[in-house]
Amino acid sequence: MLDERSKKVLYAVIQCYINTPGPVGSRVVTKKYHFGLSPATIRNIMSDLEEMGYLSQPHTSAGRIPTDSGYRFYVDSLSAEKQLVNNVLTAELNKKFELIKKDINSFLDDASKMLSELSHYIGITMSPNTGMTTLRKIELLKYRDNRLAVILFTDEGIIQNRIVPVVPDISQRELNRIAEYINSRFKGRSLDEIKRLILKEMTKEKVLCDSLISEAIRICRNAFSAAPGNIYISGLSEVLRLPEFCDINRIRELLQTLEAKHIIVNLLDNIADSEGTQVLIGAENILDEMRQFSLVAATYKEGSRPMGTIAIIGPRRMNYLETISIVDSTAQFITKLLS
Amino acid sequence: MLDERSKKVLYAVIQCYINTPGPVGSRVVTKKYHFGLSPATIRNIMSDLEEMGYLSQPHTSAGRIPTDSGYRFYVDSLSAEKQLVNNVLTAELNKKFELIKKDINSFLDDASKMLSELSHYIGITMSPNTGMTTLRKIELLKYRDNRLAVILFTDEGIIQNRIVPVVPDISQRELNRIAEYINSRFKGRSLDEIKRLILKEMTKEKVLCDSLISEAIRICRNAFSAAPGNIYISGLSEVLRLPEFCDINRIRELLQTLEAKHIIVNLLDNIADSEGTQVLIGAENILDEMRQFSLVAATYKEGSRPMGTIAIIGPRRMNYLETISIVDSTAQFITKLLS
DNA sequence: CTTTAGCACTCTCCACGTCCGAGTGCTAAT
DNA sequence: ATTAGCACTCGGACGTGGAGAGTGCTAAAG
């Protein structure tokens, strides 16, 4: 459908445009890439590419800029070269992350900074939604008179604590029994699952009226409400260097979106379902405010279960090859760390 | 030094400028505030005020804008009116924060959002540097074979967990003994203090060579390294509406500063020492990048010990009365919550 | 039939000049 | 001491015009 020569011209235009924004004309293409063709021929080809929807003209008698479909075509043809860059990056990542004894949250904070440093775009990392993590062990510790600290140990190495109100006269021994009960029944299940099971249990056993069990259920109900995953965003200042961010209103829109973190969390959660590294180019984004940007996202896993998502947001005129590689190998790197 | 009439003119100019940016001329002053004086007289007074350093002219034959000293004079004369606004705000705060069973971190996140919503500037909150918090109780729980979870309960209601590597063959019973030892010796002291004491202990008791104690010390050394306080920043998009943020480079500088959170942490930590609500106007800021902005900060306390800091960053042309009130009453509000 | 050279045309960007309005400072009158 | 009047200054808006980059078309060449 697209002959080899046209492809080469398309890629050339895209690469030119990525390097220096602003419409790219037929002359620069002939100068930078030696196809052995004259500007006139290139013009004809570019005209064809425009008809096919891969290029567009901001105004008559200006050069061409890639459309979203143009980028898409380019990105889809990239997978082959990707692996190559990946290997180089992975080596670099290993160097950067020598000291990782930290907990996962501050680790992800650093990771988002690293994403933005490497790419010069916006780096985003999300910690696993705790509802997905599996319980290894629960501990109940009396804290103040009417307060209980619930410590959840998960298989993923995440430790969480919640403070739960509790009847004042319960003893530590009773708490231990409750913890034991929970451990034996729910170990190895995800927190979300446990919460569901607990709710079922409630209706069943309330006839029993065992005050200890009912207190246990009450505690669990409070404790297993999943904490929303944290999200870390870095590189905002980085991205303001780019010429596409000369419009204040566009910046504000983006910032507004990024500040409403739950929106981003949702966005990335949806992506998390699909395999591999996802690329959303411009208008492919569901969010209106993101239409001017592209998003590259991947999930990191623990074993085979997806845990969290990392992503990079940049201009549509993004260095896709590099960015995809960075996201890809960082996700793989985190996955390896978690196992 | 400054007669009543001049003061009134100064305040009028400042208030005009706060409402609508752009140099304010003698005519608008006479129109909006009825001093019973003609523009010419106002001009003379404004000329005097300029000579005294309270006003300045961006260029000849333009109106006047306040200087940092002008704002300072204005702010210093404000304390009387402050209390009045405070009371109104406190009522509003109480309404907004009904459901605060959350842990302190997500609470501070919300608080920073609230600061920015109320002020339309940038809201910042810092969680207490954990080194300052006092130990109520420590629990050591074996987690994986060679991993130990240290749970620190503090008087301030903050629970922290650290994962510490440990010799594999230590039993839970031994851990309990170590915990008991730490509890008895260090309860009621701040984590920083404990860390210092531990270091001393090390040199003393290493002769003893009691393997249990030395293991305990090793654990503590790892566990009591204070986690840096978290910092929450909201309202970036809010502030971009303001006309002073039309310059991309200025935005970038600010974002860069805000992203380097440790810089802000340092800045606010310094302020935390002083009593009451602090106002830094423009060049009074130590940080170059903050010279274009003003900062209003206050500390919240637990009892009499300062715990953390909250702040608002806005343009120099800031509604100081309102902003100071917001910061002031929010700090008081948090203080009350913690007790 | 494909490629190329030549040419007229289009559109943006920038620099320059002009004009208008807002505001000042000064002086003289009240 | 205050005010009215007036000349002066400066920034911002507007329009114009030329330079530059790039296109599309046509006709010639391979």
Looking up residue B288, the CATH number of its domain turns out to be: 3.30.450.40
The whole domain housing A47 covers: 4-69
Same domain, A238 and A278: yes
User: Does residue B232 share a domain with residue B316?
Assistant: yes
Query: How far is Cα B262 from Cα A230, in angstroms, rounded to an integer?
Result: 19
Length of chain B: 339
> Do A271 and A88 meet the contact criterion of CB atoms below 8 Å apart?
no
**pLDDT, average across residues A83-100:** 69
pLDDT higher for A331 or A88? A331
B15, two tokens: 């208030």
Q: Are residues A255 and A311 in the same domain?
A: yes
Domain check: are A207 and A268 in the same one? no
Cα B218–chain centre separation: 34
Q: Is B239 exposed, middle or buried (0-12, 13-18, 19+ CB in 10 A)?
A: buried
B47's tokens: 């000329």
pLDDT of residue A207: 47
Section A280-296 average pLDDT: 93
DSSP H or E segment with residue B278: strand B278-281
> Within this chain, do residues A196 and A237 fall inside the same structural domain, yes or no?
no
pLDDT attached to residue A37: 93
Q: Which residues have a Cβ under 8 Å from the Cβ of A325 and sit 6 or more positions away? A: A82, A85, A86, A89
The C-alpha angle A121, A125, A130, rounded to 5 degrees, equals 165
Task: Mean pLDDT check: name the lowest of A32-36, A49-53, B120-124.
Answer: A32-36
> Looking at residue A228, what is its pLDDT?
73
* Same structural domain, A110 and A169: no
Point out the nucleotide closest to B36 (alpha carbon to C1′): D2
Low-confidence ranges of chain B (pLDDT < 50): 207
Same domain, A102 and A248: yes
pLDDT value at residue B40:
95
Per-residue pLDDT band at A76 (split at 50, 70, 90)? very high
B240 to A255: CB separation less than 8 angstroms, yes or no: yes
Query: DSSP letters along B97-134, please?
Result: -----S-HHHHHHHHHHHHHHHHSSEEEEEPPPGGGSB
Q: What single-letter amino acid sits at A166?
A: V
> Residue A44, exposed/middle/buried by CB under 10 A (0-12, 13-18, 19+)?
middle
Token pair, residue B338, equals 């913690």
The footprint of strand C (CB < 7 Å) covers A 36-38, 40-41, 44, 59-62; B 23-28, 39-40, 43, 46-47, 50, 57, 60-64
Closest CA relative to residue A244, chosen from A46, A65, A10, A117: A65
Question: Which of helix, strand or coil describes residue B152?
Answer: strand
Domain boundary among B73, B100, B115: B73
Q: Which residue has better confidence, A1 or A184?
A: A184
B241 shares a domain with B95 = yes
The values of phi and psi at residue A191, to 5°, are: -60, -40
Integer CA distances (angstroms), A240 to A68, A314, A337, in order: 22, 10, 32
Distance CA A63, CA A46 (A): 9
Sequential DSSP letters for A96-165: H-----S-HHHHHHHHHHHHHHHHSSEEEEEPPPGGGSBEEEEEEEE-STTEEEEEEEETTS-EEEEEEE
- Nearest CA to A30 out of A20, A40, A21, A22 is that of A40
Last residue of a domain, one of A156, A190, A223: A223
Q: Let me know whether B108 and B233 are in one domain.
A: yes
Question: Among the residues of chain B, which ranges form H helices?
Answer: 4-19, 26-32, 39-51, 68-76, 79-96, 104-119, 172-186, 191-205, 211-223, 236-239, 248-259, 261-272, 320-338
- Stated length of chain A: 339
Say which CATH number the domain at B48 has.
Answer: 1.10.10.10
Give the model confidence (pLDDT) of A103-161 as tens digits: 677 788 889 999 999 999 999 999 887 777 888 888 888 877 777 888 888 887 777 88
Shortest distance, CA B27 to any CA of chain A (angstroms)? 32
- Kindly report the average pLDDT of chain A as a whole number: 86
CB contact under 8 A, B149 and A159: yes
Q: How far apart are the C-alpha atoms of B178 and B186, rounded to whole Å?
A: 12
- CA-CA distances (angstroms) from residue B15 to A265, B22, B245? 42, 12, 20
* Shared-domain flag, residues B138 and B124: no
B119 and B247 fall within a common domain: yes
Output the six-digit token pair for A213: 């069990």
H or E segment and range at residue A10:
helix A4-19
Distance CA A311, CA A278 (A): 9
Q: CB–CB of B156/B338 below 8 Å?
A: yes
Number of domains in chain B: 3
- Domain boundary residue, one of B26, B58, B73: B73
Q: Which residue lies nearest C10, CA-to-C1' measured?
A: A61
Q: Residue A203: what pLDDT?
A: 66
**For residue B204, what is the domain's CATH number?**
3.30.390.60
Chain A residues closer than 8 Å to B101 by CB: 163, 165
- Return residues with beta carbons within 7 A of strand D: A 23-28, 39-40, 43, 46-47, 50, 57, 60-64; B 36-38, 40-41, 44, 59-62
Which helix or strand (DSSP H or E) is residue A8 part of?
Answer: helix A4-19
Token reading at A280: 């959303």
DSSP classification of residue A310:
E
Are residues A314 and A292 in contact, defined by beta-carbon separation less than 8 angstroms? no
Same domain, A53 and A94: no
Which pLDDT band, with edges at 50, 70 and 90, does A333 fall under? confident
Q: What pLDDT is attached to residue B173?
A: 87
Work out the pLDDT band at A240, boundaries 50, 70, 90: very high
| Residue whose C-alpha is closest to residue B144's, from A152, A301, A133, A157 | A157
